[in-house]
Amino acid sequence: EIVMTQSPATLSVSPGERATLSCRASQSVNSNLAWYQQKPGQAPRLLIYDASTRATGIPARFSGSGSGTEFTLTITSLQSEDFAVYYCQYYNSWPPWTFGQGTKVEI
Amino acid sequence: QVQLVESGGGVVQPGKSLRLSCVVSGFTFSTYDMHWVRQAPGKGPEWVAVTSYDGRSKYYADSVKGRFTISRDNSKNTLYLQMNSLRTEDTGVYYCAREVEDYVWGFMDVWGQGTTVNVSS
């Protein structure tokens, strides 16, 4: 079973600054990686899929990179609405749909 | 617009049963694979089960296999999760989610708002 490890657990950032979140897979997942954003009391929202493709309606300040076992989600110029928990998830191989434990981006 | 609305959650004693429903609108339900994903308090999401678009293929997480059953009624645009022999560790918010088209075991592109299940004596 592939294990997804996210770091850091919490990231403290000021509005307007850049945030860099990491996700590591215990074995290669190629580019089969998605990123989700979750705010308190809400469902996860798809941000990025195929490691670097923004989902429909996602602002350009969100970008994803990486392949194999190392992935990064970058948020440039953080806005107030970006403070949330971010999860990575791999897919496309069995057992699939495993999520990381999350990174909380806080002010 | 695309909507997924879950219902059926509540407080239930260990060992009892509960059935969750997810009514969808705004897309052709019968052409999409659908998932249930849960989230325990303060934890990350955990995939629970998936059904193919026609209901013929179903897969489960090891933690629920043999206790939970996923099903769908395409004529009613509704996804179900029958949960039997509930345990305290099944407590959490249960989301239905749509799997993206044109992928094999792809990611979830649309999620419902969730329904809360609390297994407690």
Rounded to a whole number, what is the distance in Å from the CA of A15 to chain B's nearest CA? 25
Q: 3-class SS at B31? A: helix
Residue closest to A44 by CA, chosen among A75, A79, A8, A85 = A85
- For the stretch A24-46, pLDDT in tens is 999 999 999 999 999 999 999 99
Best probe of the A interface among B62, B99, B103, B107, by most A CBs < 10 A, is B107
Instruction: Reduce the DSSP state of residue B92 to 3 states and report it.
Output: strand
Q: What residues contact A54, with CB distance under 8 A and at least 6 apart?
A: A47, A48, A60, A62, A63, A64
Note the pLDDT tens digit of each residue in B30-58: 999 999 999 999 999 999 999 999 999 99
Mean pLDDT of A46-64: 97
d(C-alpha A90, C-alpha A29), whole Å: 7
Of B44, B104, B105, nearest to A101 by CB-CB distance is B44
Residues of B in contact with A2 (CB under 8 A): none
Quick one: pLDDT at residue B82?
A: 98
Q: Could you give the CA distance from residue A62 to residue A107 in angstroms, rounded to a whole number?
A: 17
- Rounded CA separation A11/B111 (Å): 26
Contact B116, B24 (CB under 8 A): no
C-beta atoms of B111 and A44 within 8 A:
yes
Three-state DSSP class for residue A78: coil
CB-CB: which of B45, B112, B113 is closest to A99?
B45
